[in-house]
């Protein structure tokens, strides 16, 4: 496994990050324990979760991770632990517990996450979505306080726009703070919007990008048929693609076959290829999903392969970013 500094911090994380969203929903506690143990065996030291994970039983994912930490044998010390705050934890939230962030809410939600995770600190505490209404003073004043108390070590963002990264990062710099060290965003061969503004902004601001859904919910995993009601079927609707009816997927599979690599390895390696990306989040439901995942870190895609992938997944209709960066990519 290879490691890289997360953003401008000196924190080193594995280039594959374990996504735990399925724990307690599609993955039993016992299987989750086996997956986390296997990750440590593979050298994956970066685990990502969120307080809202668990679907109807929000918080259950954090509880499972906490119960695994409680087994001891250095588990907690071996993991760079990331969780998130923003959403409501109640089906009928009072006004100050609704979606968004405030000093009032973060204090309560952070305490609950620490309890569920059975730890005394969060290594990377992430704001799950941008809150356009919070003042810069309240935002950084709150996080600085919890950093000073030792409850959190670093702050990250998730689903922020490029302008949001710059706005909050510049405010942190003015306060003499490290600021955001990471940004989670959806980024894969079918969702390349981050290339236009987000990835350049993150790179310039010293923010490491940790993309989620590098396989686009399974669309880039080499499947030929999709079961009704499956997560991949849902993603087909979200993306507007049908695997069996789109030549992109056939061309992608052929390219992977020519390379002698599996589709999920090439798709993940492509995500890691962007120099703004630090670690790719792999959402694992079973141990099988971890098979050979280290190959995605090792694989180096040659320029001609990148060019072919750009041709297959041409979201910019003939004006690829490899020729001109944003904003020239969409300007006349």
Residues marked as catalytic: 53
Angle at 144 (CA atoms; ends 142, 149), nearest 5 degrees:
100
pTM value is 0.91
Range 96-114 burial, b when 16+ CB lie within 10 A, else e: ebeebbbeebbeebbeebb
- pLDDT value, residue 239: 72
| Integer-rounded Cα radius of gyration of the chain | 20
pLDDT tens digits along 206-231: 999 999 999 988 889 887 777 776 77
| Long-range contacts, stretch 143-146, CB < 8 angstroms, 24+ apart | 143/106, 144/175, 144/177, 146/106, 146/110
3-class SS of residue 181: strand
Report all structural domains of the chain as residue ranges with CATH numbers, in order of start.
3-218+268-300 (3.20.20.100)
Strands in the chain per DSSP E: 3-5, 12-14, 16-19, 46-48, 80-85, 122-127, 152-158, 180-184, 208-209, 280-283
Per-residue pLDDT, 94: 87
13 cis-preceded (ω within 30 degrees of 0): no
Quote the CA–CA distance of 279 and 273 in Å, as a whole number: 10
**Per-residue pLDDT, 243:** 74
DSSP code per residue over 136-159: HHHHHHHHHHHHHHTSEEEEEEES
- Dist. CA 132–CA 24, nearest whole Å: 31
Question: Residue ranges of the chain with pLDDT lower than 70?
Answer: 229, 245, 315-332
Distance of CA 157 to the CA centre of its chain: 10
């Amino acid at each position: 496994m290879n490691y890289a500094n997360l953003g401008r911090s000196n924190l080193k994380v594995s280039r594959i990050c374990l996504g735990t969203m399925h724990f307690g929903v599609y993955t039993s506690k016992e299987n989750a324990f086996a997956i986390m143990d296997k990750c440590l065996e593979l050298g994956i030291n970066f685990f990502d979760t969120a307080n809202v994970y668990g679907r109807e039983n929000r918080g259950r994912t954090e509880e499972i991770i906490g119960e695994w930490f409680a087994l001891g044998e250095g588990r907690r010390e071996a993991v760079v632990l990331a969780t998130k705050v923003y959403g409501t934890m109640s089906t009928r939230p009072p006004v100050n517990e609704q979606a968004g962030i405030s000093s009032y809410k973060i204090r309560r939600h952070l305490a609950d996450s620490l309890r569920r995770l059975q730890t005394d600190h969060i290594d990377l505490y992430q704001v799950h979505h941008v809150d356009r209404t919070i003042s810069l003073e309240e935002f950084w004043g709150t996080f600085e306080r919890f950093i000073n108390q030792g409850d959190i070590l670093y702050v990250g963002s998730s689903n922020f726009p490029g302008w949001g990264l710059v706005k909050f990062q510049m405010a942190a710099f003015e306060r003499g703070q490290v600021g955001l060290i990471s940004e989670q965003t959806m980024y894969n061969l079918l969702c390349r919007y981050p290339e236009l503004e987000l990835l350049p902004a993150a790179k310039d601001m010293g923010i490491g990008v940790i993309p989620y859904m590098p396989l686009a919910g399974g669309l880039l995993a080499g499947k030929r048929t999709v079961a009704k009601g499956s997560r991949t079927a849902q993603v087909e609707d979200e993306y507007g693609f049908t695997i069996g009816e789109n030549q992109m997927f056939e061309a992608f599979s052929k390219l992977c076959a020519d390379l002698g690599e599996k589709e999920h390895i090439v798709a993940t390696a492509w995500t890691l290829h962007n120099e703004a990306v630090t670690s790719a989040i792999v959402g694992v439901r079973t141990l099988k999903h971890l098979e050979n995942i280290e190959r995605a870190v090792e694989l180096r895609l040659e320029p001609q392969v990148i060019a072919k992938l750009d041709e297959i997944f041409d979201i910019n209709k003939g004006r690829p970013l490899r020729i001109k960066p944003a904003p020239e990519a969409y300007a006349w």
